[in-house]
Amino acid sequence: MVNPAGEIVLECDVDKGEIYVRPVGGPGKPVNLFVSTQHATYTLLLRRSDTPADTIVIRDKTARLSRAEPGGATASARTPQHVRALKGMLVAMAADRPPTDIRVDEVNRPIQLWQEAKFALVRLYEGRGLVGERYVLTNVSTQDMVLAEQEFDRERGGVLAVSIENHNLRPGESTSVYVIRQGS
């Protein structure tokens, strides 16, 4: 065996362009799997179950975005000013006292996300051509929860950046989720 202590068995069908992944661990042990493209990394959480096989299709949105942008500029080739603006908005959202050029509205609106989670939009931040949203997510299940930024990046949401304070939540624990979108 190439990897006797591994958590998965990986088989490839080059002719079909398919990869088959089978968790090896026990039924309660989840496996983190990272799929990387030239533009992004996707996190999958695999759990062994006695159900028929699932097909997972990952569509790399960054490839579509780069074709749609004038001049073919990719998201990773953004200007340093754009990156600084995103970082500045994230710092302002995480700070107790954001700068005066950022307007803050207290929202406190629950949002239905998953059955295992309580999710609420707490604050809305506007300024510098960006809109920031601070959410609080609470694990209301009896199982540990593993979060990934991609779960909060919806196709039609115009999301530019996502940051999660704590990616691993035990039952009853909460974390902040920050989402930044393009402003008007």
- Tens place of pLDDT for every residue, the chain, 184 residues? 455 667 777 788 888 877 777 777 666 667 777 777 666 677 777 777 777 777 777 766 655 555 444 444 444 445 677 777 788 888 888 876 777 788 888 888 998 888 888 899 998 988 878 888 999 999 998 888 888 887 777 655 678 888 888 888 899 999 999 888 877 6
Q: Which two tokens stand for residue 172?
A: 């009853």
Q: What is the pTM of this model?
A: 0.57
pLDDT score, position 52: 72
Rounded distance, CA 105 to CA 124, Å?
A: 5
pLDDT score, position 71: 44
Q: What is the CATH number of domain 78-182?
A: 2.60.40
Rounded distance, CA 118 to CA 50, Å?
A: 28
Judge contact between 6 and 33, C-beta under 8 A: no
pLDDT score, position 23: 74
Kindly report, residue by residue over 88-97, the tens digit of the pLDDT.
888 888 876 7
Judge contact between 147 and 163, C-beta under 8 A: no
Q: Which two tokens stand for residue 181?
A: 């979108």
Kindly report, residue by residue over 5-18, the tens digit of the pLDDT.
677 777 888 888 77
pLDDT score, position 100: 79
User: Would you kindly state where each structural domain of the chain is located, as residue ranges?
Assistant: 8-61, 78-182
